């Protein structure tokens, strides 16, 4: 789940533990342009203190002002809609005449926020179902394909581990990639059995393992919320990881290298127990063409492509590194050539 929303759960549990009254607000549907997706969370304390976001500021201001003026003004779970009228759109500065539907829930012990937080922090994926009529909550296991659902009477939201990323290689590029990926809310693991690289690894908050890449892929039990990026240029390491990763449900598997190197890599993979469909899942050369020349810029163009795949965005051929180099004669950083 989004780290912002995880922080909402943490603060809500903390405020409840302190005996504070808390209003939890969830985005359940949007029409038109909206800065936050369904499932986004906001928590407001009775004195107006706030954490999270549902609109980028405009609607938060209205909810906070009402909380300061009226205290715990919501006494039962309810749905509200902002932006239905032109006046609402002007008042709340909703972009492009957008409309947003929210569920407001005053938290109580039966809201089970502390239980939900504990399960999420244990790495579990959880479906939280709220009955708006009775205010009762049930928690149940969820799968990676589950999504928010709301029928006007029952709201089910999905909470769980952040997206995970496995980076093969602990070189300079990996350091920039891992740091930016953490900012994008990935839980990052860097794998490199080479001591000459791992001894100088000094990036906090990122798990470093020295096991062989294929063993690491298997141990991580990759799912649909995982990305694998091979960056060593060493077939003995990159190929091992790719062999296992391409068999997994990981939403993205890619390897750094030129068009020629990637063609050779695909030929090597054909010699193993991979199907043509599995090999076709390999992204390479990875990244989007933005004229990158430095390791931080290369990290950005790699993560740009991963983000597009994660969000199911189809990009034009011209955005792809391989196409740009072929058609434009573009010069990209030597690490990709």
For residue 282, pLDDT over 80 is answered with yes
Q: Which of 119-128, 186-195, 252-261 has the lowest mean pLDDT?
A: 119-128
**Greater confidence, 29 or 124?**
29
pLDDT grade, residue 126 (50/70/90)?
Answer: very high
Buried b (16+ CB within 10 A) or exposed e, 38-59: bbbbbbbbbeeebbbbbbeebb
Q: Cβ(163)–Cβ(226) under 8 Å? A: yes
pLDDT digits (tens, 9 = 90+) for 4-51: 788 899 999 999 999 999 999 999 998 766 667 889 999 999 888 999
Q: Which of 134-138, 189-193, 273-277, 322-326 has the lowest mean pLDDT?
A: 322-326
**Greater confidence, 163 or 189?**
189
In the predicted model, what is the mean pLDDT of residues 172-181?
94
For residue 86, pLDDT over 60 is answered with no
Q: What is the pLDDT of residue 92?
A: 55
Distant-in-sequence, close-in-space partners of 251: CB < 8 Å, separation ≥ 6: 224, 225, 226, 227, 309, 310
- Alpha helices for the chain (secondary structure H): 3-17, 58-70, 86-91, 113-121, 172-183, 195-198, 213-220, 235-245, 259-269, 276-280, 295-310, 321-328
Domains and CATH numbers, the chain: 3-159 (no CATH), 163-336 (3.40.50.720)
**Greater confidence, 195 or 1?**
195
CA distance 14 to 107: 12
């Amino acid at each position: 789940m989004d780290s912002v929303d995880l922080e909402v759960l943490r603060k809500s549990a903390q405020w409840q533990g302190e005996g504070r009254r808390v209003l939890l607000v969830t985005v359940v549907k949007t029409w038109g342009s909206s800065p936050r997706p369904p499932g986004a969370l906001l928590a407001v304390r009775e004195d107006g203190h706030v954490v999270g976001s549902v609109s980028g500021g405009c609607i938060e201001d209205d909810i906070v002002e009402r909380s300061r003026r009226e205290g715990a003004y919501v006494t039962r779970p309810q749905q509200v809609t902002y932006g239905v009228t032109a006046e609402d759109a002007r008042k709340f500065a909703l972009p492009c005449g957008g409309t947003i539907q929210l569920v407001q829930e005053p938290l109580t012990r039966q809201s089970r926020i502390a239980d939900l937080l504990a399960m999420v922090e244990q790495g579990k994926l959880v479906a939280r179902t709220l009955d708006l009529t009775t205010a009762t909550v049930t928690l149940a296991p969820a799968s990676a394909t589950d999504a928010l659902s709301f029928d006007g009477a029952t709201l089910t939201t999905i909470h769980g581990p952040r997206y995970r990323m496995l980076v093969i290689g602990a070189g300079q590029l990996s350091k920039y990639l891992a740091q930016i990926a953490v900012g994008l809310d990935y839980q990052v693991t860097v794998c490199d059995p080479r001591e000459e690289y791992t001894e100088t690894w000094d990036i906090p908050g990122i798990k470093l393992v020295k096991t062989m890449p294929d063993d690491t892929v298997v141990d991580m039990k990759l799912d649909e919320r995982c990305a694998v990026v091979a960056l060593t240029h060493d077939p003995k390491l990159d190929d091992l990881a790719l062999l296992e990763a391409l068999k997994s449900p990981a939403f993205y598997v890619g390897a750094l290298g030129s068009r020629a190197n990637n063609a050779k890599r695909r030929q090597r993979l054909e010699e193993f127990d991979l199907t043509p469909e599995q090999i076709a899942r390999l992204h390479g050369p990875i990244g989007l063409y933005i004229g990158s020349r430095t390791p931080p810029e290369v990290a950005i163009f790699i993560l740009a492509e991963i983000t597009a795949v994660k969000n199911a965005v189809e990009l034009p051929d011209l955005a792809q590194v391989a196409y740009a180099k072929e058609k434009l004669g573009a010069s990209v950083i030597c690490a990709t050539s």
